[in-house]
Structure 1
Amino acid sequence: MRCRLIATTPTDFEVHLFHEGSLYKSYELFGAHVINENGITGTRFCVWAPHAREVRLVGNFNDWNGSDHSLVKVSEQGVWTIFVPENLEGHLYKYEIVTKNGDVLLKADPYAFYSELRPQTASIVYSLEGYEWNDKAWQRKKLRKPIYQQPMFIYELHFGTWKKKNDGSFYTYQELADELIPYILEHGFTHIELLPLVEHPLDRSWGYQGTGYYSVTSRYGTPHDFMAFVDRCHQAGIGVILDWVPGHFCKDAHGLYLFDGEPTYEYVNFQDRENFVWGTANFDLGKREVHSFLISNALFWMEYFHIDGFRVDAVANMLYWPNSDVRQPNPYAVEFLQKLNEVVFAHDPSVLMIAEDSTDWPRVTSPTYEGGLGFNYKWNMGWMNDILTYMEAAPEYRKSLHHKVTFSLLYAYSENFILPFSHDEVVHGKKSLLNKMPGDYEQKFAQLRLLYAYLVTHPGKKLLFMGGEFGQFDEWKDLEQLDWMLLDFEMHRKMDEYVKELMKFYKRYKALYELDHSPEGFEWIDVHNAEQSIFSFIRKGTKENDLLIVVCNFTPVVYHDYKIGVPLHTTYKEAFNSDAITFGGSGHINKKALAAREEPFHGKPYHVQMTIPPFGISVLRPIRKREERTDDGKEKVHRHVIGRRSR
């Protein structure tokens, strides 16, 4: 273990900053650190326990007897420390806390860098130093090419149930890198989003109820193993986003809950403290020491694990006081979130701070100096709920739900949105995305292809939960891997290939992502055709005439010679059709180029006539002709794609 050159006792300034809520690298003060001072190598332990009468260090190095290892209280607000003149690397430990009432609690270290494999709960002395990173090219690219005008399609996954070994055991971080990275590259996703990897007690959970915020879970290996996983993702050009839960935490006895016998990390008031929905405790976001703990935690994952961003869970649960009949904003949460985002972006302006917020709180992705919360992305939960409600309805009833599709464009540019088909939509009896679709077997696949293409062509970045790419038919199962055997069936295999082709199509055309967050990037052609449930619109890039025409049909009816208004007097070619036979469709495609006719339609100066596929989407790109002379004096005609990226 590499020794850190830090003092054997905390400095007064460090302690002051911690209590002030501005010690943003509090993990360098608290926890267990092997250090060297004046030629003496030892291990310093430091913990915050403001209500404790006494704190003792216990571990396998002292037979779990702390009588000779009492910590010294160095601040009136409850910072305790001890220096043990031994290198305790790899040893197990806990804090034995004597409460004001004389009760004795055994607590894991809130700042532990590594923890025992469940069901054991001790902390482990571990150094995070020494890993040699090889992702400089990735880091330079992030700063050189901000994500806002780049394609972003996130693959959300849970490590424990994405894929398992034949004996049912977990893959390690290193083994997952071998399996997952080629899979992500093959499918074309730009980022992965990992459900929480903080240490947590229950295998069957997603990890949202954490006990060790500074411990990457030991289920899959060591912290250095996880560093290697992220490093390999970056070297392959894949961003890594971590689900992060600063709103509430697990109530298991060894964790943060009533840490020193009284509310410490959580609110004092019972109604504010208890999260009855999830059986957890809410962080006291008005407490400055909690600010230091949580903001440091975000920087910790960025500094030591090179995490590219955080999907901040349950923002709505923080913004409004819980367990209240009145929807009352929580000013402590607002201040905390603004402060968090300011500190994180000062540390790394390329980071992704994504709010999972189901409310209509204004300016979530606006800068804090404009009164915003300071995130740079927000999940568009309204769009997700509306489009799934629409898709689950029988086709004959969709005309009465037309507004479910159109409404999102009224607010699409009020925030920087990510369009999520996440884990939350495929559990608790909600059914998988494929099984939500009405109709027979083939119609389910057709509508899922339509839904995915609509996702790709709608303004906003994208997210898909694991299994959706090949049409997982069952919802998420907590003890099993994805149903990989479905790839033995033709329609699921074709769905998988469809997603790969859709991803290539998405990345190929700048009109689909360059102006995701600007109203100049979208224009309706026909928004009123509720009777036929057909929608048509234009997606635009930054360059003039860099555009795509998108036509969606949410019914099983085929239309031939269907008129669509277009803005340019040119020829159009079908760039993508979800009904192609190779995708499992019925083959109602537009093989020939479509010449625009000089007759206004849909408020546009020209129109084309085309085939509209059943339960399908067709995307047209304009082409133009350029004439030039050949050597023999004859004219030669070249066709050029407008808006297509050179390869």
Structure 2
Amino acid sequence: MNQQVARVHQQVRYDVSLLTDHDIYLFREGSHVRLHNKLGSHLMEIEGQRGTLFSVWAPNAREVSVIGDFNDWEQGRHPLAPRHDSSGIWEGFIPGLDHGTLYKYYLLSSNNDYGAEKGDPFARYWEEPPRTASVVWDDRHEWHDRKWMAERAEKNKLDAPMSVYELHLGSWRRVPEEGNRYLTYRELAEQLVEYVVWMGYTHVEMMPVTEHPFYGSWGYQCTGYFAPTSRYGAPEDFAFLIDRLHQAGIGVILDWVPSHFPSDLHGLSYFDGTYTFEHMDPKRGYHPEWKSYIFNFGRHEVRAFLLSSALFWLEKYHVDALRVDAVASMLYLDYARNEGEWIPNPHGGHEDLDAIHFIRQLNEAVYRDHPDTQVIAEESTAWPMVSRPTYLGGLGFGMKWNMGWMHDTLDYFANDPVYRKYHHNQLTFSIWYAFNENFVLPISHDEVVYGKGSLIRKMPGDDWQKFANLRLLFGYMWAHPGKKLVFMGCEFGQWSEWDHESSLEWHSTQLTPHGGVQHWMRDLNHFYRDTPALYEKDFEQAGFEWVDFHDWEDSVISFIRKDKNGGTVLVVCNMTPVVRHNYVVGVDETGYWKEVLNSDAEVYGGSGIGNLGGAETSPVGAQGRYHSLNITLPPLGVLYFKRD
């Protein structure tokens, strides 16, 4: 055995590296955005010998070795050597290790006797959980989305339509005949793509696909920041899914979690026997609400790690946008903490200055290198200028989730219609700040879990009224300024709360009320995409104009959306189940106004009350306008009119 160990030691070569002096400089500075091309495991051929080059950052390690099934997981048999530039990076080329090799790093700390087996922070592929080894992988995919990539700047710009279908890949659809298993990436590439195109969405947003040990975390506690989860297939299978979405004209948004990471032993926590990626003090480094570790954004190498992860998904997998999770938890030192449980910044404030610097650096890097993509913030507070450029003092995001609109709207719709007139301001208040940021209107997974109930169950009344309310909600939402996002299952009024262990209730779409909502959502999406007035000026006050927001007694609102060329859409919402005949709405343009959408149409499961296709203007002024329409408002209904 001793002779074998000695022979193996000789096999490791230390004269091979992908890192240049400039790479080390950028790494130490915290501005390297492509570390994935330098660190991790890389297949290559050196002097006729094919093997794998390993590089790992472990600045406080005493010894680092590669272990795997190729050496019986025995530490010390394939040691790496530290670079001589004090970067803390360990390297070594091991001949004979090829595609598919399982491996980990075994690290002994220089500060204590701590030793642990760690997965590769830069691994491109991991074993399927609960197994935890990294995998040497040659993840090649021949892309066929050239047309999409050439045109996606137009698809992702701020004045383009954006109707987003948020989904969890593992529970969108299951295969009950095979033990209720997940669909694979390649199966999703057929079934999901077909459905999203049919429904008319412009983008899909995938809850985190970065590798994560605990399925029940939905991907928000991830360990593999450079690897799509192996639960649904290999990396090239994930690329195939994105490729097919792009070929079908659908953009891809990924949830990305740079705020925190789990405490699993094989992951980033206490990586080299010290607090490498996280803060030492739990008042800075531990998240009490999520029981996870917080990245040390003040450490240059950590920022470079996260910046590289962001750019990796955009470049390697052609992702069109990143939705950055839990931005508020990054911005505030006292987030989810009581007095005495947090450390103020040097100025005595509760803002995390290191995190702010990282966020701005992230957005500057993304928009510098990929101006045809977007970075979207899930930020739940009133932090100013989240979606404004950094050179103006903003955080630099392209868009921000409008959590205030979401909470106010769902609270309003939860009221019995008889009481809605007392909460009218919840419906109208959002316009006062609608143009302060570039907002996305989200009805996300967070609203249909943990006992909150499904979206349809939030609606009051009997079953007919619940479905009418849901159609009304979507109709109001699709007309309101801001991009749109809705979580899977909501689009057809699934009764059950979302369960990540189960498929959506697809059978219910065969029933009239559910199928009606689905049909309504489909028509909304297609009309929205074809109607510039509903999206071109989403972020401009000039794109929206109230007709009447004062009719709190009847719980009716009416407003106009405008495009850049003078086109308009008139929207009237009746928030009660009372049919309102001879309701007068002021307009500026004379002639016939066509009723282009009616949420109460029988085809959607409604009562069929409407205006027989439209209405002619009358020379009678109303609401400060010279002309008016005399129309019938259906119960719990929304009407869209266009000048014919």
Q: What secondary structure does 2:98 align onto?
A: coil
1:97-246 aligned at under 5 Å gives the runs 97-99=107-109, 100-128=111-139, 130-144=140-154, 146-166=156-176, 167-246=179-258
1:95 aligns with 2:117: no
SS across alignment from 2:171: helix
Q: Secondary structure at the match of 1:69?
A: coil
* Equivalent of residue 302 in structure 2, options 274, 287, 290: 290
The equivalent residue for 1:627 is: none
- Return structure 1 stretches of 4+ with deviation > 4 angstroms: none
Once the two structures are superposed, what CA deviation does each residue of 1:499-531 show, in whole Å capped at 9, x if it has no partner?
Answer: 111212212221111111111110001111111
Displacement of 1:182: 0.5
Q: Which residue of 1 is the match for residue 5 of structure 2?
A: none
The alignment partner of 2:502 has SS state of coil
User: Counterparts of 1:161 and 1:118 in 2: how far apart (Å)?
Assistant: 17
- Counterpart of 1:76 in structure 2 is 86
Separation in 2 of the partners of 1:16 and 1:509?
50
Distance in 2, Cα, partners of 1:8 & 1:525: 67
Matched, 1:533 2:555: yes
Q: Which moved more, 1:307-316 or 1:506-515?
A: 506-515
Query: Structure 1 pair 256/450, CA: closer, same or farther in 2 (3 Å)?
Result: same
Equivalent of residue 300 in structure 1, options 292, 299, 312:
312
Change (3 A) 1:410 1:105: same
Partner Cα separation in structure 1 for residue 615 and residue 35 of structure 2: 63
Deviation string 1:562-590 (CA, Å, 9 cap, x unpaired) is 11111112221211111111111111111
Cα drift, residue 77 of structure 1:
4.2
1:61 and 2:70 correspond: yes
State the distance in 2 between where 1:530 and 1:586 align: 24
When structure 1 is superposed on structure 2, of 286-295 and 486-495 the one drifting more is 486-495
* Structure 2 counterparts to residues 473-488 of structure 1, below 5 A: 473-488=495-510
Matches of 1:592 and 1:352 in 2, distance apart?
Answer: 39
Following the alignment from structure 1 to structure 2, what is the Cα–Cα distance between the partners of residues 353 and 23?
Answer: 19
The DSSP-based 3-state class of the residue aligned with 1:495 is helix
Counterpart of 1:572 (choices 593, 596, 621) is: 593
Query: What is the CA-CA distance between 1:475 and the residue it aligns to?
Result: 0.9
Aligned-partner Cα distance in 1 for 2:226–2:103: 15
Give the match for residue 26 of structure 2: 17
Contact map agreement 1:8 1:37 (CA 8 A) in 2: no
- Matched residue, 1:43: 52
1:262 match: 274
Give distance in 2, aligned partners of 1:257 and 1:63: 25
Structure 2 residue aligned with 1:403 = 425
What's the CA shift string for 1:117-162, capped at 9, x where partnerless? 111100011123x321110100111134553222110000001100
Q: In the alignment, what sits opposite 2:517?
A: 495
- Structure 2 distance, partners of 1:530, 1:52, is 67
Report SS of the residue matched to 2:413. helix
Residue 371 and residue 30 in structure 1: after superposition, are their counterparts in 2 closer, same or farther (change >3 A)? same
2:640 to 619, 624, 640: 619
TM-score for both structures, normalised by structure 1: 0.93
**Structure 2: 5+ residue runs without aligned partners?**
1-14
Match of 1:598 in 2: 619
Unaligned runs of 5+ in 1: 1-5, 624-647
Aligned residue number for residue 633 of structure 1:
none
Aligned partners of 2:66, 2:580: CA distance in 1, in Å?
Answer: 75
- 1:445 pairs, out of 444, 467, 472, with 467
Look up the SS of the partner of 1:602 in the other structure: coil
- Normalised TM-score (structure 2): 0.94
Match of residue 531 from structure 2: 509
Partner of 2:609: 588
Letter in 1 for 2:77: D
Alpha-carbon shift at residue 39 of structure 1 (Å) = 3.9
Distance in 2 (alpha carbons) for counterparts of 1:501 and 1:316: 35
Mapped partners of 1:234, 1:459: distance in 2: 26
Q: Report deviation, 1:42.
A: 2.6
User: Can you list the C-alpha shifts for 1:425-469, whole angstroms capped at 9, x where unaligned?
Assistant: 001111111110000000000000000000110001100100011
- Counterpart in 1 of 2:541? 519
Distance 2:99 2:603 in 1: 57
- Offset at 1:40? 3.9
- CA drift of 1:324 comes to 5.1
Amino acid at match of 1:84: I
**C-alpha contact (below 8 Å) 2:107/2:115 kept by paired residues:** yes
1:9 Cα shift?
Answer: 5.8
In 1: Cα distance, 2:159 partner to 2:609 partner: 33
Q: Distance in 2 between matches of 1:530 and 1:506?
A: 27
Q: Does the Cα contact within 8 Å between 2:16 and 2:93 map onto a contact in 1?
A: no
**One-letter identity of the residue aligned with 1:557:** V
AA partner of residue 568 (structure 1) = E
SS in 2 for 1:159: coil
Distance 1:277 1:62 in 2: 41
Identity score, percent:
46
Shift of residue 102, structure 1, vs aligned partner: 1.1
CA contact (8 A) 1:8 1:35 kept: no
Distance in 2, matches of 1:352 and 1:466, equals 22
Give yes or no for contact 2:153–2:373 (8 Å, CA) kept in 1: no
Alpha-carbon distance in structure 2 between the residues aligned to 1:203 and 1:340: 28
Does the C-alpha gap of structure 1 residues 40 and 532 become closer, same or farther in structure 2, counting only changes over 3 Å? same
- 1:73 offset after TM fit, Å? 1.2
Q: Does 1:338 align with 2:350?
A: no
What secondary structure sits across from 2:182 in the alignment?
A: coil
> Aligned partners of 1:454 and 1:253: how far apart in 2?
48
Structure 1 stretch 136-145 or stretch 552-561: which is displaced more?
136-145
User: C-alpha separation between the residues in 2 aligned to 1:80 and 1:114?
Assistant: 20
Q: What is the alpha-carbon distance in structure 2 between the residues aligned to residue 255 and residue 379 of structure 1? A: 30
Residue identity in the other structure for 2:55: C
- Alpha-carbon displacement from aligned partner over 1:141-188 (angstroms, at most 9, x marks no partner): 113455322211000000110001122111110011111010001100
Conserved? CA contact 2:596–2:613, under 8 Å: no
Separation of aligned partners in 1, 2:613 and 2:274: 74
Tell which deviates more after alignment, 147-156 or 446-455: 147-156
Which residue does the alignment assign to 1:644? none
Moved more, 27-36 or 442-451: 27-36
Among candidates 592, 607, 625, match of residue 628 of structure 2: 607
Kept in 2, the 8 Å contact 1:446–1:616? The answer is: yes
Is 1:357 matched with 2:367?
Answer: no
CA distance in 1, matches of 2:415, 2:635: 16
CA contact (8 A) 2:155 2:161 kept: no
Q: Is the 8 A contact 1:9 1:82 kept in 2?
A: no
Mapped pair 1:380 → 2:402: yes
115 and 165 in structure 1: CA distance in 2 versus 1, 3 angstrom threshold: same
Cα displacement (A) at 1:7: 4.4
The residue number in structure 2 matching 1:639 is none
Report how far residue 76 of structure 1 moved.
Answer: 2.4
Q: What is the letter of the counterpart of residue 14 of structure 1?
A: D
Is residue 614–residue 641 contact of structure 2 (8 Å, CA) maintained in 1?
Answer: no
- Partner of 2:559, secondary structure, is strand
- Give the letter aligned to residue 151 of structure 1: P
